[in-house]
Chains A and B, each alone.
Chain A
Amino acid sequence: MAHIKLPEGLPGIRGPMAFRPETAKPLNELAEVLLRSENSLSRGERELIATFVSSLNNCFFCQNAHGGIAQHYLQCDLQYIDSIKNDYRSSDLSDKLKTLLSIAASVQNGGKQVTTEQIEKAKSLGATDIEIHDTVLIAAAFCMFNRYVDGLGTWAPQDRNIYVERGPRRAAEGYINFDLYKQ
């Protein structure tokens, strides 16, 4: 049961968003600009950073909701998403993206954990300043989203396939102007 009385029937972050629409608006605008706006990191790559950080924070709703969207963008299966979460270093992702994921993991652990060596490695692999900035911001933002979702004790459907099935529509509708009440 959620820690406060939230509108019923809405999973994860949707409950608190319906509870306080005034703060939901900039929150969704933030997700839109970080995860979907024009960027040299693809939407799939950015959703993967979001999924990875949410998994490190052990936030069930966020890692599955964003995992479903990442899976759609990357046209892969659930096992592949799980393999990234468990051991991205052994995956077939580009070295640049692996380094950005390592920076994201450091941010999740604490901003001070990001080292100059990590940044230099990312740059030597072709990461731009904006890509590094955005990786840090996305990783840090999901440390907020995850705490918002879990700190209020929200509920989430446990069947992971539900998130996979919803991925394509979530990807198409984006983070602004979607119907909070439509599943």
Chain B
Amino acid sequence: MPHIPLDEKLPGITGILNYRLDTALPIRELTHILLRGNSTLTQGERELIATIVSHGNECKFCTAAHTAAADLLLGEKETTDSIKKDIALSSVSDKMKALLIIAKAVQVSGKNVTSEMIDQAKKAGATDLEIHDTVFIAALFSWYNRMVDGLASVTPTDPAFYSRLATILAEKGYLSSENRYAGLTK
């Protein structure tokens, strides 16, 4: 049961964002710019950063939601599976491997990012902006994961829930919209 009264129809982060709309507004804007704004990283690649950080923080809701979003955007499920097992052996590009390794370091602590990790990313072609956004997305999900678990929000167990949420995230992004969550819960 959540630590505070959240809308039962809105599990995970959705009910938390709905609880206080004034705090939700900048959170949504920031997330939309980082995950859906113009970028040389694809939306799928950025969802992989959200996935690896949520997985590292063992946040079941965020991991399932962003895995489903990444799967939908990438058109396959192997990549999310492989990065969770071992980034180095996964099917992503060398640049993405280097960025995911940086994201995993940030998940533990900002201080864990080393010059070697950054050099590796730059050598593989990552720009300063891509490195900046990777660190920021990883930091952002260090926040989301703590909101979701820190308030003990509900984590649905039905995989179909996350498919429905992923469709919303892929089609509408992260900004608030009318009837955004219509059809989320059956």
B131 to chain A: which residues have CB within 8 Å?
3-4, 152
Contact call B26/A23, Cβ cutoff below 8 A: no
Chain A contact patch, size range: 35 or more
B143 and A140: CB pair below 8 A?
Answer: yes
Q: Is the interface of A mostly helix, strand, loop or mixed?
A: helix
Contact of B29 among A26, A137, A152 (CB under 8 A): A26
A107 touches B (CB below 8 Å): yes
Contacts of A152 in B (CB 8 A): 110, 113, 131-132, 135
Contact, CB under 8 Å: B109 / A3:
no
Name the interface residues of B10-62: CB closer than 8 Å to any CB of A. Answer: 16, 19-20, 22-23, 25-27, 29-30, 33-34, 37, 57-59
Question: Do A147 and B106 touch (CB < 8 A)?
Answer: yes
CB of B163 closer than 8 Å to a CB of A: no
* Residue of A whose beta carbon sits closest to that of B130: A4
Residue A110 at the chain B interface, CB threshold 8 Å: yes
Query: How far is A103 from B151 in the complex, measured between Cα atoms in Å?
Result: 10
Residue of B with least CB distance to A116:
B3
Chain A proximity mask over B136-161: 1 for CB below 8 Å, otherwise 0? 10111011111111111000000000
- Known contacts A20-B132, A140-B143: does B113 contact A153 (CB below 8 Å)? yes
Whether the Cβ atoms of A139 and B150 lie closer than 8 Å is: yes
* CA distance in complex: A137, B147 (Å): 6
Query: How many A-B contacts at CB < 8 Å in the complex?
Result: 151
- Contact A143 B143, CB 8 Å, known A23-B136, A136-B151, A150-B111: yes
CB pair A141 B143 closer than 8 Å: yes
Determine the distance from Cα of A149 to Cα of B111 in the docked complex, in whole angstroms: 9
Residues of chain B lying within 8 A (CB to CB) of residue A112: 58, 149
Interface contact B37-A22, CB-CB below 8 Å: yes
Known: A5-B128, A130-B20. A151 touches B135 (CB 8 A): yes
Question: B60's closest neighbor in chain A, by CB?
Answer: A112
Question: Quick one: given A130-B20, A143-B142, A151-B113, are A111 and B26 in contact (CB under 8 Å)?
Answer: no
Would A140 and B147 be within 8 Å (CB), given that A27-B30, A147-B139 are in contact? yes
Q: Is the CB of B27 within 8 A of A30?
A: yes
Is A136 touching B143 in the complex (CB atoms < 8 A)?
Answer: no
B109 near A150 with CB under 8 A, answer yes
- 1/0 per residue, CB under 8 A from B, across A120-132: the answer is 0000000001101
Cβ contacts under 8 Å, A106 to chain B:
150
Q: Taking each of B26, B37, B109, B138, which has the highest tally of chain A beta carbons within 10 Å of its own beta carbon?
A: B26
Query: Of residues B4, B142, B148, B150, which shows the largest number of chain A Cβ atoms within 10 Å of its Cβ?
Result: B150
* Interface residues contributed by chain B, number (CB under 8 Å): 49
- Chain B residues within 8 Å of A136, by CB: 3, 146-147, 150-151
Cβ–Cβ contact A151 & B139, under 8 A: yes
Residue A144 CB within 8 A of the other chain: yes
A144 touches B139 (CB 8 A): yes
Interface: B125 (CB within 8 A): no
Shortest beta-carbon distance from B102 to chain A in Å: 8
With both chains docked as a complex, state the minimum distance between the C-beta of A22 and any C-beta of chain B, in angstroms.
6
| Nearest CB of chain B from residue A113's CB, rounded to whole Å | 8
Please state if A110 and B57 are interface contacts (CB–CB under 8 Å). yes
Interface status of A93 (Cβ within 8 A of chain B): no
A37: Cβ under 8 A from any B Cβ: yes
B80 to chain A, nearest CB (A): 22
List chain B residues, Cβ under 8 A from A48: none
Which A residues are CB-close (under 8 A) to B139? 143-148, 151
- In this assembly, does A29 line the interface, its C-beta being within 8 Å of a C-beta of chain B? yes
